[in-house]
Chain A
């Protein structure tokens, strides 16, 4: 009986340690920033979700464990706590990293094609499709009439099969 109790105790202890160890590992990736209000925290989340990590491309600042991303998150926190607006912070990032830092690039002369390119292709495609459909319909509506020579040619093409 005593052995069973000791085993049980050891099992509980090792499980507890395992869970503690795992949770410590999980939280190791997350920075612990302190905010005064929930609103500040939400702004931090939104900004680091929408800004791209310049080092490890295709990850946002939230999802990146890279050094530069860590620094940028710290800077965002600092700027929020200093009372800067989201626009100020985005401008700060833009002045240093350019359009690349935004997952949603600003509308500028350099990014017009990026924003409206797909729309332009859609319009061209729509226009071509409209022309094709319109032509098909007018062709379908018009009764087909053949003149003498065309009748002749048709008969020749159809050939002997027409003859009884």
Chain B
């Protein structure tokens, strides 16, 4: 045997071994995963969901609960609350329901089977310390994790957030996340208020571009807000909106500005204007005035004027209107509406602004004040397809 060959073979073998050792374990690369889906037949335009077309005979408490045969539904609770020494808090607790399929057959024996998804948003505005706390939860609407019931009174829950009807007009609300917690008792002072045509609220020109919409506009609220280790006894008024429908928005509508106003003279006003992709306001924008005695009056698009006085820009250059002047001539009301805090943006599963506002104005020439909540959608993303 030649020594040189031996040496060459030797070196070769070492090289091979080193190669094996080095290639054995590739360093882990960090990067994500992605799922490719089969085309979802449920996402097509044609579906079998019910639409808000005719007037409906509402029965309570049954109609407080979910209407799963419609695509989307929400229960919106907002309120402005004060401590005894006048410290202001705003809160929002919203439950959204969305059907993910129009197949209502109960072919699966599993309690987990569901075509309903529940989503909830929870926010607390701590005006004094300029803090806005935002949380959300999501769950399927089955297996006891989320849903509504009327057994015999209404309740709605998503995981550990929920609202339970205690008696005809008394409701209990609990929600908490991390260090923020609310526990309220809400007493409805005015009963159910129906918007639009006895609860059928037209939003677009096509048949079915509508929703069923009713509210509890003045709910006296007492309870506690806990922020970290501090607990505040608060009281004030809440507003409840319950709305459901299918393809509520028309195809050219991108979002809405919604105002719930609780004036100190026990009058409430609900207004919304739907913005269209060409910048104009939809003719289906409307509102409701609820007088002290519970009597209501509908407002159509020409009955009110909303002027934006100021805007606020997010750190990523999204611009929201931030101060408004609203005129309702038929009751001789002129209001200036100012957010109690600029940044009450909700960056969650979808992005919108929902915040507590202060109202100063004149009614028939006399000064009037109040609190309210404003919702601004479609500024950061179009709401088309989301609702």
Tell me, yes or no, whether A binds B: no
A: residues with CB less than 8 A from B are none
